[in-house]
Structure 1
């Protein structure tokens, strides 16, 4: 009898490769309007080593796919807003991202909205968020301008598609029907949007926060067009264990260094994904999980670049629409 653990680790770098051809092909198709490649500007106004690493990854990935990348370091964070506004008004800049946290409070949410909607590669603008929560996939009535999704939640969706959790035999928008997912983290940047995206695609999602556990669902038989939220009660280990017993997918994003998801809560053969910069699962995860994705970073950067290309395409479509009416 084999003593090897049955689970298999799938690296984000392997998954991200599936998007390289698509992304580089689109960059080539834009050579007539962006001969040197689209320009992404990243703003760094903190000393967070994780942000420095993310910026380095972003630059390498951009340059390997034909994009230009410029990191703008802001020594005094009080001048960041002004720098963002300058980039908004610069026609040579196609995409803008900010490495958070900056102030670490509500002021960061304000800065997210300072970035022009037309250059928001991270999909954090309130219009994009509202569309996502209401399961609206386009910005216009003609359904030509696609809305932008926040890149880390989108990366997790793409990972689930890669792992064949999505059922392509079902209509688009319902392809997680019958799946149960647990998301341990309800941050406004990743956890809550991710739970909404998965529920909007048909899954029953248990959203776990330090205070309580909520259920995101489109109702029995997917009777609603967008997800509804039900409060299941205060957080407890017993309630978490109950939510996990039939879970097909467990996704974690707890930023604490000491946090480890209990391996004995994982259903045999479940899929486990961690989007935290910390390791939320220990090595025993592979004794229960069939597939384990320890990080999502490289897929997130691929989604960010896809978002930027979508913004460039949306801008071109609007310009063409305007030209045809004049």
Structure 2
């Protein structure tokens, strides 16, 4: 008798997070203290509070110190500056939205680049879009990437969508990916990162479709964006090996009738953008990514601490007062 069960593999974020946590634990063993992450909560958004609670729980369970500071939003700017100047604070995360306008973007730039675990500082964002992967000329210190887009990339690596036979930076060559949502926080950065790694990416927003690509044969150093006039999601889905959706709210659902058979489907919205029937067509389905995002946050914090330790080791030794006196005698 034939087995009528769908052949879709449902992959839970927790399983992917475990692999990344092992990497984080190995790095922590080389540090003789608990890195301190300070979270600022000035939002009444319930999702922000849930994220803050999960961050604290995961950090505490995995060898990090976490301190949540609930601050009136009008006092937040000064509070961030104080944390920037506090040598005991290793990393800072601010839970957005706060004002819900350009003031939030300003606050993102207040956080010191040396403590920005979310990768939202101008230098990090510039590097991400320009496909500059390191902070130093020797290519030893990797730039920090935004947590949710990086979490999606780590999931794709876990699922072996990245082709490790190809050279680093080109491992999505030949992949066609649709990203539904072009927010400045997740959707557009994710499309850029995937295209920089070699994929042809269709970025779908409420009004239009854009194509992110490094050109034929990946001849471009970084991605370029072109408009697809008249295109809708119905044009993108049949072409896509991977479909990644993050539309907020519970009303939006991906039109499964257009989905390519055997596509990999990933949901990064707090709501389910895919109906249960996705398992009838997809080969792999990841229903949520939150736990991976928080581990990536800790991984970013560890990288910042490692960069700080390496920078201190590389810095020339400061002369003692006696040496300084001798040098000027």
- On whether the aligned pair clears a TM of 0.5, the verdict is yes
TM-score calculated relative to the size of structure 1: 0.95
State how far apart, in whole Å, the 2-side matches of 1:48 and 1:7 are.
34
| C-alpha distance in structure 2 between counterparts of 1:310 and 1:57, whole Å | 20
| Partner residue in 2 for 1:58 | 55
Equivalence for 1:39: 36
Match of 1:212 among 205, 208, 214: 208
Unaligned runs of 5+ in 2: 320-329
Write out aligned runs for 1:160-309 (5 A): 160-234=156-230, 239-309=232-302
Question: Which structure 1 residue ranges, 5 or more long, are not aligned?
Answer: none
Larger-gyration structure (1/2): 2
Q: Who is 1:72 aligned against?
A: 69
Shift of the 324–225 alpha-carbon distance from structure 1 to 2, 3 Å rule, reads farther
The yes-or-no answer on 1:7 pairing with 2:8 is yes
CA drift at 1:323: 2.7
Superposition deviation, residue 325 in structure 1: 8.4
Give 1:125-140 correspondences, 5 Å limit: 125-140=121-136
Tell me what 1:93 maps to.
89
Equivalent-residue separation in structure 2 for 1:64 and 1:111 (angstroms):
29
Q: TM-score, normalised by structure 2?
A: 0.94
Q: Pick from 312, 315, 321: which aligns with 2:305?
A: 312
The residue that corresponds to 2:25 in the other structure is: 24
How far does residue 298 in structure 1 lie from its aligned partner after superposition? 0.7
Tell me, what secondary structure is at the counterpart of 1:148?
Answer: coil
Q: 1:324: Cα distance to partner?
A: 5.3
Q: The residue matched to 2:239 in structure 1 has which SS?
A: coil
Cα offsets for 1:135-182 (capped at 9, x unmatched)? 111111122221101110000000000001000000000000000000
How many residues are paired up?
318
What value does the CA root-mean-square deviation take over the aligned residues?
1.2
